[in-house]
Structure 1
């Protein structure tokens, strides 16, 4: 018999235990060991059965046990101490509150992401993007950064993965009850649930309830469309993460962006929280937030006023104000990874009969259309909209910043990719979440618990340098304990997986011998798109078998990963790996664990000796799993991609050589790189792990572990990442936002309009150079004289630059130096201006120079912002020449 309605009956906590409820509702417990230990002591068996979820556990503790605890003075003292610690954590000053050297810190920042990986108890993530977003919130909380997170609440989350008997991926979508999750509904002052609403075509509405997850100091607002006021179709908008067709995804992204801004306004109104000055969109999914903010300003909301007849700004002025306070982060190294929608589908959902009726639909479309060479003219690109609506943008590693500038260079025609205004902030990971308790305790014994906690949150290489003083034996013993824990975890998970695949208990005795706590252990776990090359290790199966079964230096491999439900190619890769791992000859040395997620990862990263990563370079934007492994003393073996390209040193890891030349086909490339991987494992990695010094320890391996912790530890922290966002993006965005008061926004919009109209008539008419000598020798100074036409613009509207540097065989300037030239007097009779200035020949070899004209204004973030540049014509350019010495 099936119930027609389900709900959760909560226990009534005795008054003395009420702080337990507050502790359970603040997700700081997910990374705070003392809080988790307290909950475990409530009922160890139920804590294990609830998978470490205090909300679920408290719902199952019998009343008599709660009554016992309410009389247990020792427990009450522990409870009071942990509750006081949380109170100090969320109210006391932290890093952000003590900054006096960073001007213009924003009062609040809104951080939007389609997924958040905070804890396995709140399964609202699919992979690295969500885990990164969760770590961003946690690090912001630790540092005291006034962030408000905004996302969606998916009633089915991302899928759970199992395997069929023949190794084919199976997807399952368990229904999540928000009342059983560590969430509370945001309520209006009269107690009714707070909601936001979006207008849909056909006089329909999409409504969503606002749920609140408290992540330490940071509120996370999550929008849920499964409310009774919605029709069936609208109730399903937030059903699954990355599910459904194009219109389903579009509605999700409209709800996240437009509904998310409205949710932030509602939250701030109800709680008195400061309104955000900066809006950060984590990937393009939330890009519509900029349109909602433009609509607010056009309607005179958000503290702005105006003179367009309705008390607000016109579209162009509102756009400038919104851009100033917006930060856009791209995580995608390939165009195929970006959400793009048919032009007509987007147009259908905006305008007089749908959302944002006061904004002309063509203006909305203009923000996202691929109107550049090579673009698809009928596709609306969410990343393009994110870049056009954000004055500041960044990739997530140095290499990815370079890739992004190349990929989006069409938006800034005439500029070299290196000048495209997309910076980079390399991702980091939240150490308290990912560092094993045993690693933390070792650090605490060495430098104290508080300094260890500070090292993992604030950073500082001086604290990490203390690893140098830890004895080799202690490090090696720790690594062995972590490896053994992983072996036990793998056996338990493998047994459960085989039972799901239909195996009987009698045929699973072999699992007790799977993996060996004294064998070199390699981990490989991530999503399974083709570019991550899950099966590269299988290119030469005989050679892999030799490595796995080596008599003296065996290796063992733990593999995990999910293919997207619609990606049959990825599922075939999973099946190929699973079938190899099922071979009785090697199944004790290589395993595939289904349902990769946070709970598994927290055991997997610490227990591995090597973290393997072999994507197609440069398609890994950053990749953070290797960072989490490194924080536990695991060494990285990776292609030089993402963060590893930036920070690799042979002192603490290995780089897999790549064969990415244009003349190498895909199969040949994979064969070469797989062979390089085998060679490294056979000749360098395994010998170093197994060789023993005079004290019976692998001295050189332990030294690499030490170097990993001391050199990578401070770099890979999410705290370092968030500090960079504050200093390099949030504070400048807040400064720009404050500068773009209504009158300044109108001024900037009018100036841009005037510049764009005049620019086709801005020209370089004449260029000449003279030198003190007739030869181009190092140290020579040229005197440049340039005559330019500025049309209706004035010298204050432009900057005329001399651009110089080494040149290649096609006369392209590399490592360019830009020196502004100055006007020499007023305009001549033809209205031309003459600019002059020196140019120093400061390097030897092939050298060249040119001049260019850029728009300039005090409120621009960069000279490339408008995408306008004027260069000399070929005839004028011939006068510039290429100087050789």
Structure 2
């Protein structure tokens, strides 16, 4: 018979082992090897079958075993030492505290919103790279001591568990997760009752959610859960699964994440007696409605909509992970009206907010759609992409919000993603790093050059050991998958010899949207077969990844790989492993010699899996997209040439051929060319170079420091500036914006005069430009005027521009005159113009308002 409800009962811990409970609920264990080893030692077999879950160990271990361990003085001493170490980790000053003590002006708190968080496979609240990145962000923030709060949803079925049918088609199942069996605690009030947040729904209904807290080292992660008896049946299902359901289900999730998330932060800081965050960070547009909730809060404090928007923008950061418009969440405007409107012009969900103003924040070219990324950009003063290339792509993709500006002037910067080394580096590498340079090597961008002292033999032996561990794991998972697909034990003797610990191993594992081109390696099946079965220099290929349940095209790609890998002649050299998650990923990153990535450039925003491989001495073989575009240096792997400007089929043919060519002519010879000592000298040199040069660049600690210095600090200062003196700054900035909006159509460059230019100008020739500007009622202090020089193309467009500020020389005949003296900064066909931009000390930059005025005539 089937149980009505599932819940977890844990064993009563002996008093001497009470510290195990504390160690199990702080997810620092997920990246702290000594704590992991402690729990494994309780019951090694249960540790494996229980999927490395300390909470599950404590729930399922034999009580007699716990009693015996309580009498083991050595074990008790280890528990006490690790509890003391955890306390030290949580309490001692770290990088952030040292900056503040050194006088740095940094935020008092950051609220970091994401739709998914990949902290541990034990808490399956993630689907892919976005969630893993968010989890690594929290862990690095903890290591650095940032006062950060994570905010998301608790999905009762996670994403999904993947298996394969007999014919290789992806099948999904959705296990029901018990929050009480996870490393979570419930936020309660002073009387011990669960704190609930309330969000108004249409037809007078209310969506309620409780708040679970996952402690990620020093960082609390708030996860909202709607599956409570107080909700109607359909509202209980709002947090049922990640990325499931239709648009109606999706908008309810995003309202809960954004509006409910802000309310959860307020409740948490109140009951935990913590300072309110001074910065709000949206990790993608999914939580974009948080800006509306913060505007509502300020409206109730007496600010009008414009004042409140100015205040919210100043202290908000928006990160986009999407390189294509199709990846942006868009809702029908009528659906937004349904959830935010009250039947009139206002909002019942957010009282005090005008419906037209809400819709304007998400406006795009199609008035019938509401664009969540546009809302994120309009409600945040600072925005960024997640690699240098992605920053450029984003500036081009969103340039419609800044008309009149060249794409490279759009105010979207970039912070290249990073990965949390203690989570993703093998314990073997962690031990080696600690011995050579100290454990801080994995948290700081220094000391990596000391790896040059490690003998080649040790580097090679480490790589061989890790490849051997991966092969054992592949065989275990391959056997389990075959049984699940219908094979019998009698048919599976061959799996004991599948893969080899001595063969070059290539890994490809990620989500399976079509642009990542899972099957590019199959473009020429016979050529791939020859590579796999080469008698002298074989290659073996391990593939993994999940396709979205509604993406049949992605599932078809998986099926193609599975059917090829099922062939009897190659099945010992290529495998598709189902149910890709963090536990599988570690083995792949540790053991693969080469990490393959072949997306359609430039559709990979960052793609951090190759970074994790690099931290383990893996070499990347990748299209120059995302992070690899900026960090490839010719010695840390191989760049697959791209074939731009041809049709998709031809492009796939060309890039697949280039992939095969690199494997045949470069990768395999470098791996198999051995010295008399059996060591591939050139390969090990590349491994060493990868560790030394990529190691410090790919760290999540570097990423979080970049966010802190470049985004959180400025956002916090801007937020304080607009809040000072009873929001005087917000009112001043909003008033300025209204004046600019009203006057801007009349702002015009009336005339431009050039003096001093010789008949034959040369680079560096002196030039004086003077311009008459009609400011349309604005003052010279309200604007900045620039002389703009650039190379001129056949359409008279300027490129490679250089701007020179022009100073106000006073009014002449009713027109303000500005002038600049400069030297010609460019050679070749050069042109110039003059433009006017809004300027205010509380703007993040002069391009922020998206307004520019130039000459009245061409």
Equivalent position SS for 2:477 = helix
Greater shift, 840-849 or 709-718, is seen at 840-849
The yes-or-no answer on 1:472 pairing with 2:456 is yes
- TM-score for both structures, normalised by structure 2: 0.98
Conserved in 1, the CA contact under 8 Å of 2:296 and 2:351? no
Deviation per residue, 1:254-305 (Å, 9 max, x gap): 00000000000000000111110000010000000111111111112xxxxx
Matched with 2:335 is 345
Alpha-carbon distance between aligned partners in 2 of 1:629 and 1:789, rounded to the nearest angstrom? 58
Equivalent position SS for 2:105 = coil
Matched with 2:799 is 814
Matched with 1:319 is 309
Deviation per residue, 1:593-614 (Å, 9 max, x gap): 0011100001111100000000
Alpha-carbon distance between aligned partners in 2 of 1:338 and 1:122, rounded to the nearest angstrom? 26
Alpha-carbon distance between aligned partners in 2 of 1:843 and 1:199, rounded to the nearest angstrom? 59
Match of 2:665 among 645, 663, 683: 683
Conserved in 1, the CA contact under 8 Å of 2:499 and 2:572? yes
Following superposition of structure 1 onto structure 2, how do residues 94-243 of structure 1 map, counting pairs within 5 Å?
A: 94-99=94-99, 103-243=104-244
Conserved in 1, the CA contact under 8 Å of 2:434 and 2:441? no
| Displacement of 1:693 | 2.3
Conserved in 2, the CA contact under 8 Å of 1:168 and 1:571? yes
Alpha-carbon distance between aligned partners in 1 of 2:256 and 2:754, rounded to the nearest angstrom? 58
The yes-or-no answer on 1:523 pairing with 2:507 is yes
Alpha-carbon distance between aligned partners in 2 of 1:692 and 1:2, rounded to the nearest angstrom? 60
Matched with 1:861 is 844
**Cα RMSD for the two superposed structures:** 1.1
Conserved in 2, the CA contact under 8 Å of 1:102 and 1:727? no
The yes-or-no answer on 1:577 pairing with 2:567 is no
| Displacement of 1:11 | 1.7
Matched with 2:66 is 66
Change over 3 Å in CA distance of 1:248–1:634 after alignment to 2 = same
Alpha-carbon distance between aligned partners in 1 of 2:480 and 2:165, rounded to the nearest angstrom? 13
Alpha-carbon distance between aligned partners in 2 of 1:811 and 1:454, rounded to the nearest angstrom? 54
Matched with 1:622 is 606
| Displacement of 1:772 | 5.4
Alpha-carbon distance between aligned partners in 2 of 1:820 and 1:6, rounded to the nearest angstrom? 68
Conserved in 2, the CA contact under 8 Å of 1:151 and 1:222? yes
Conserved in 1, the CA contact under 8 Å of 2:802 and 2:825? no
| Displacement of 1:768 | 1.1
| Displacement of 1:438 | 1.3
Alpha-carbon distance between aligned partners in 2 of 1:26 and 1:112, rounded to the nearest angstrom? 20
Match of 1:722 among 690, 704, 713: 704
Deviation per residue, 1:111-160 (Å, 9 max, x gap): 00000000000000000000000000000000001100001000000011
Alpha-carbon distance between aligned partners in 1 of 2:728 and 2:31, rounded to the nearest angstrom? 46
Conserved in 2, the CA contact under 8 Å of 1:143 and 1:458? no
Alpha-carbon distance between aligned partners in 2 of 1:711 and 1:485, rounded to the nearest angstrom? 26
Alpha-carbon distance between aligned partners in 1 of 2:177 and 2:641, rounded to the nearest angstrom? 45
Following superposition of structure 1 onto structure 2, how do residues 690-839 of structure 1 map, counting pairs within 5 Å?
A: 690-741=672-723, 742-771=727-756, 773-825=758-810, 827-829=811-813, 831-839=814-822
Match of 1:550 among 500, 520, 534: 534
Q: Which runs of 4+ in 1 moved over 3 A?
A: 100-103, 351-354
Equivalent position SS for 2:117 = coil
| Displacement of 1:67 | 1.8
Alpha-carbon distance between aligned partners in 1 of 2:527 and 2:33, rounded to the nearest angstrom? 43
The yes-or-no answer on 1:387 pairing with 2:369 is no
Conserved in 2, the CA contact under 8 Å of 1:351 and 1:359? no
The yes-or-no answer on 1:438 pairing with 2:436 is no
| Displacement of 1:13 | 1.3
| Displacement of 1:60 | 1.1
| Displacement of 1:467 | 1.0
Number of equivalences: 850
Following superposition of structure 1 onto structure 2, how do residues 488-499 of structure 1 map, counting pairs within 5 Å?
A: 488-499=472-483
| Displacement of 1:706 | 0.1
Deviation per residue, 1:374-395 (Å, 9 max, x gap): x222100100000000000000
| Displacement of 1:96 | 0.4
| Displacement of 1:441 | 1.8
Alpha-carbon distance between aligned partners in 2 of 1:723 and 1:159, rounded to the nearest angstrom? 33
| Displacement of 1:410 | 0.1
Conserved in 2, the CA contact under 8 Å of 1:351 and 1:358? no
Conserved in 2, the CA contact under 8 Å of 1:102 and 1:731? no
| Displacement of 1:443 | 2.1
Matched with 1:645 is 629
Conserved in 1, the CA contact under 8 Å of 2:433 and 2:441? no
| Displacement of 1:844 | 2.0
Alpha-carbon distance between aligned partners in 2 of 1:743 and 1:528, rounded to the nearest angstrom? 50
| Displacement of 1:842 | 2.7
Following superposition of structure 1 onto structure 2, how do residues 333-412 of structure 1 map, counting pairs within 5 Å?
A: 333-352=323-342, 354-370=348-364, 375-412=365-402
Equivalent position SS for 2:486 = coil
Equivalent position SS for 1:700 = helix
Match of 2:319 among 318, 329, 350: 329
Alpha-carbon distance between aligned partners in 2 of 1:676 and 1:2, rounded to the nearest angstrom? 54
Conserved in 2, the CA contact under 8 Å of 1:351 and 1:357? no
Matched with 1:305 is none
Deviation per residue, 1:839-876 (Å, 9 max, x gap): 3113321211111000000001011111100011344x
| Displacement of 1:40 | 1.4
Matched with 2:828 is 845
| Displacement of 1:50 | 1.1
Matched with 2:283 is 282
Matched with 2:257 is 256
Greater shift, 199-208 or 693-702, is seen at 693-702
Equivalent position SS for 1:117 = strand
Alpha-carbon distance between aligned partners in 1 of 2:495 and 2:458, rounded to the nearest angstrom? 30
Conserved in 2, the CA contact under 8 Å of 1:202 and 1:354? no
Alpha-carbon distance between aligned partners in 2 of 1:795 and 1:498, rounded to the nearest angstrom? 75
The yes-or-no answer on 1:631 pairing with 2:615 is yes
| Displacement of 1:102 | 6.7
Alpha-carbon distance between aligned partners in 1 of 2:276 and 2:210, rounded to the nearest angstrom? 20
Alpha-carbon distance between aligned partners in 2 of 1:237 and 1:750, rounded to the nearest angstrom? 40
Alpha-carbon distance between aligned partners in 2 of 1:685 and 1:521, rounded to the nearest angstrom? 11
Conserved in 1, the CA contact under 8 Å of 2:621 and 2:640? yes
Alpha-carbon distance between aligned partners in 2 of 1:3 and 1:684, rounded to the nearest angstrom? 57
| Displacement of 1:71 | 2.2
Alpha-carbon distance between aligned partners in 2 of 1:130 and 1:678, rounded to the nearest angstrom? 32
Equivalent position SS for 2:282 = strand
Equivalent position SS for 2:786 = strand
Alpha-carbon distance between aligned partners in 2 of 1:361 and 1:53, rounded to the nearest angstrom? 47
Alpha-carbon distance between aligned partners in 2 of 1:435 and 1:6, rounded to the nearest angstrom? 35
Unaligned runs of 5+ in 1: 301-311, 876-885
Equivalent position SS for 2:238 = coil
Greater shift, 41-50 or 98-107, is seen at 98-107
Matched with 1:44 is 44
| Displacement of 1:63 | 2.1
